[in-house]
């Protein structure tokens, strides 16, 4: 499952991997500077040539970081984590709140199941089908 952190892991990351943490900090600050003055509805051209609004493009970046971060944690056999703000962005993007509420999932379970990182039980699948509850699926 995914641990939704209540604390910022930046201090721990800086102590363990100073050069990597410094590069990451530099990259996100440059990105923030580059986009902060832009209108959120600015059209961005993706590497495939299609257009997407800047606000939507940035959401897809958070989704990628959270879900692929889970993949990396699973592959390394370490606990998965994400920041509460990132978890909220992904849950909103995937539109999983109705299913999560109905099935009593917490945010960490909802992320893992909706992101395909944890299997739905037979009962969960049946209940979701019965109520026609779905969420946005990727790929």
Q: How confident is the model at residue 125 (pLDDT cuts 50, 70, 90)?
A: very high
User: What's the whole-model pTM score?
Assistant: 0.75
Contacts of residue 57, defined as CB under 8 A and 6 or more positions apart, other chains included, come to 44, 46
Strand 43-45 vs strand 2-4: parallel, antiparallel, or unpaired? Answer: unpaired
pLDDT of residue 129: 93
Cβ-contact 2, 111 below 8 angstroms? yes
pLDDT of residue 9: 61
d(CA 57, CA 43): 9
Q: Please give the residue that has the higher pLDDT: either 55 or 19.
A: 55
């Amino acid at each position: 499952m995914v641990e939704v952190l209540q604390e910022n892991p930046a201090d721990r990351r800086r102590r363990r991997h100073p050069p990597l943490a410094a590069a990451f900090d530099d990259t996100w600050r440059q990105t923030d500077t580059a986009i902060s003055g832009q209108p959120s509805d600015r059209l961005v051209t993706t590497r495939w040539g299609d257009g997407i609004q800047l606000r939507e493009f940035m959401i897809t970046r958070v989704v990628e970081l959270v879900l692929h971060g889970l993949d990396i944690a699973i592959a390394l056999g370490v606990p998965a984590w994400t920041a509460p703000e990132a978890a909220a962005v992904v849950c909103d993007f995937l539109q999983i709140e109705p299913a999560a509420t109905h099935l009593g999932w917490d945010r960490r379970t909802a992320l893992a199941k909706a992101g395909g990182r944890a299997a739905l039980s037979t009962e969960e699948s049946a209940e979701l089908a019965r109520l026609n509850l779905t969420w946005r699926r990727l790929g």
